[in-house]
Amino acid sequence: MAHCYHHALASVRRYGGVAVDYQPIHDWFDQSKAHHADFRHRALRHHAEGIFLAEAIFGTTITNSDGRAVPVRLIGEDHVREDLGHIPSFTDWARAIAPQRWMMVGTRLEQRLDHIAPPAS
Ligand SMILES: [Zn+2]
């Protein structure tokens, strides 16, 4: 799905109300486009943890214009499924990252410290 507004219209078809009832949640999922302008922006929030984070931010439910309580988690699941066809974990995204030397600098430092000062027993 190309635009958050179209996600909001899909939410209206499923749960009633009007698009602005759902727009803030769908906008939040796609705000990462401001950081990365192609589909890879989805790695930031389009996964199971992102859906739970949306629930923590927006609450367990929203009440739409029809007075109906709609679970935020369902709205998030719909958004991610509409974009990806399924709900990946963050691990699914992380596995797609090609490791670079700079990503491992801290790991090597920890290994060096283990040789210098072994943990107290
Ligand atoms: Zn999206």
Place 87 in a pLDDT band, splitting at 50, 70 and 90. very high
Distance of alpha carbon 63 from alpha carbon 43, whole angstroms = 28
Distance 83 CA to ligand 1 centre (A): 6
Q: What is the pTM of this model?
A: 0.85
pLDDT for res 71 = 98
Distance 81 CA to ligand 1 centre (A): 9
pLDDT at 110 exceeding the cut of 80: no
Distance 67 CA to ligand 1 centre (A): 26
Distance 87 CA to ligand 1 centre (A): 12
pLDDT for res 72 = 98
Q: Which residues of 92-115 are buried (b: 16+ CB within 10 A; e: fewer)?
A: ebeeeeeeeeeeeeeeeeeeeeee
